Every structure is written in structure tokens, then in C-alpha cells.
Amino acid sequence: MFGIESGIVLALLGAALAVGLAGIGSAIGVGIVGQSAAGVVTEDPDKFGQTLLLQALPGTQGIYGLLTGFIIMQRVGVIGGGLMLDLGMDKGLAVFMAALPIALVGFLSAIAQGRAAAAGVGVIAKRPEELGKAIIYAVMVETYAVLALLASIMLLFGIPLP
């Protein structure tokens, strides 16, 4: 179909890593919070809503990764037709690099955020009125995923593609 020397391979690898790594991180993070939350809900089923809110927080990295992957797919023509088979090696590598911030930071920050949010679930267990503070602790972690997303998006829009 096309040779390995085409840059499209690297570009698609970038998209795959952005979606894949950030998604794995989010899955682990959300899983960590879910375990804590299930423990609390055993005691008090009415806390389902509050704990679900905390569980949703580490899920955003996966969405940011998907977002980045989607932008790549759109820019290299996977979506919308006209896949750029003749993409240069340099352009492909550039797209791959642009995907790295959200892929790496998304992966690790989602796990770290999952831990912070799981600790927040402990706050909800004892003092449900302090939900706001528990959320803020988890959001402090998310900042870096947002910054990485910003870097990835700006890099992607900065690469001139035909």
C-alpha cells in the first residue's frame, strides 16, 4: 500500500500513542477511584453521585488524548478522505513529536490524579460537605494534563501540512 519510508506511519503512531497512552492512564486512574468509591458506597449508597464526580476527574486525560488523536487524523486525512500517503518523513516525525506531550503527561498524570481523587473519596466518606476541596486537590494534578494538551494542540496547528 505504501512504503515504511512514508511519514504517515509516524503521524499515525503519534495519534495511536496519544489516544492509547492517555487512555490507559485514565483507565487506571478511574479504576483506582472506583475501588475507593465502591467501598464508601457500600456504607452509604447515597454518596454515589458525589463519588462519581470524583471518579470522572481522571477520565479527562483519555478525552484529551482522543482529542489530540482526532486532530491528527483530521489533519493527515484519515477522517474526511484523502489519506496523505506521500507525507514527508520530516512532517510525519513532527506530527509524532506533537503528540508526545499529551501521550506522556496524560498517561502519568491520570494515574496521579486517580490517587488524589481516591484520597478525596475518603474525604467524602467522612465529611461530604467538603466535596469542593476534595475536587480541587485532584484538579491541581489535572493542570499539567491541560498544559500538555495545549502544547500538543498548538504544536499540531503549527505544523504546515499540505
Partner 1 sequence: MPIIDMKKVYLLAHREEREKIFNLLHRLGLVELVDVKTGGSWNEFRSLLQPEQAAGPVNRLESELGEVRYCLDFLQRNFPVRKTFVEQFAGSKIALSEAEFSGYTGQAERVKSIYASCRTAEDDLSRIRNEETHCRNLLEELRPWADFTVPLEEVKNGSRTLMFLAAVPVGAYATLQEELAANAADYYREEVSAGRETVYCFFIFPAASAEPVSALFKSAAAAVISFPGLAGTPAAVARGLEQKLAGLDEERGAVLSRVEQLVAHRPLLMAYFDYLSNERAKQEAVALLGGTGSSFLLEGWVPAPALSGLEKTLAEKTETAVLVSRDPEKYEEVPVLLHNRGPAEAYEVVTRLYSVPSREELDPTPFLAPFFFVFFGICLSDAGYGLLLSLAALFLSRKMRLGGMGKQLINLLFLGGLSSLAFGILMGGYFGDLIKLPPLWFNPLDDPMRMLFFCFVFGLVHVYFGMGLQAYRSIRAGKPLHALFDQGFWFIFLNGLILLFLPEFASLAKWLALGGAAGLILTQGRAQKGLLKKALSGLLSLYNVTGYLSDVLSYSRLLALGLATGVIASAINTMGGLAATIFGTIFGTVVMVGLLLGGHLFNLVISTLGSYVHTSRLQYIEFFGKFFEGGGRAFRPFGFSARFVDVLRAKEAGHAGTEAAVSSPST
88 vs 146, beta carbon nearer partner 1? 146
Q: How far is CA 90 from the centre of its chain?
A: 26
**Which residues here bind partner 1, judged by CB under 8 A?**
46-50, 53, 56-57, 59-60, 63-64, 66-67, 70-71, 74, 79-80, 131-133, 135-136, 139-140, 142-143, 146-147, 149-150, 153-154, 157
128 by Cβ neighbours in 10 Å (0-12 / 13-18 / 19+) ranks as: middle
Least Å from the CB of residue 82 to partner 1: 14
d(CA 71, CA 60): 16
d(CA 157, CA 132): 35
Work out the number of other CB atoms within 10 angstroms of the CB of residue 159: 16
Least Å from the CB of residue 40 to partner 1: 13
Least Å from the CB of residue 13 to partner 1: 20
Cβ contacts of 16 within 8 Å, gap of 6 or more = 69
> Which triple of cell numbers denotes residue 47?
454518596
111 vs 135, beta carbon nearer partner 1? 135
Least Å from the CB of residue 162 to partner 1: 18
39 vs 70, beta carbon nearer partner 1? 70
38 vs 154, beta carbon nearer partner 1? 154
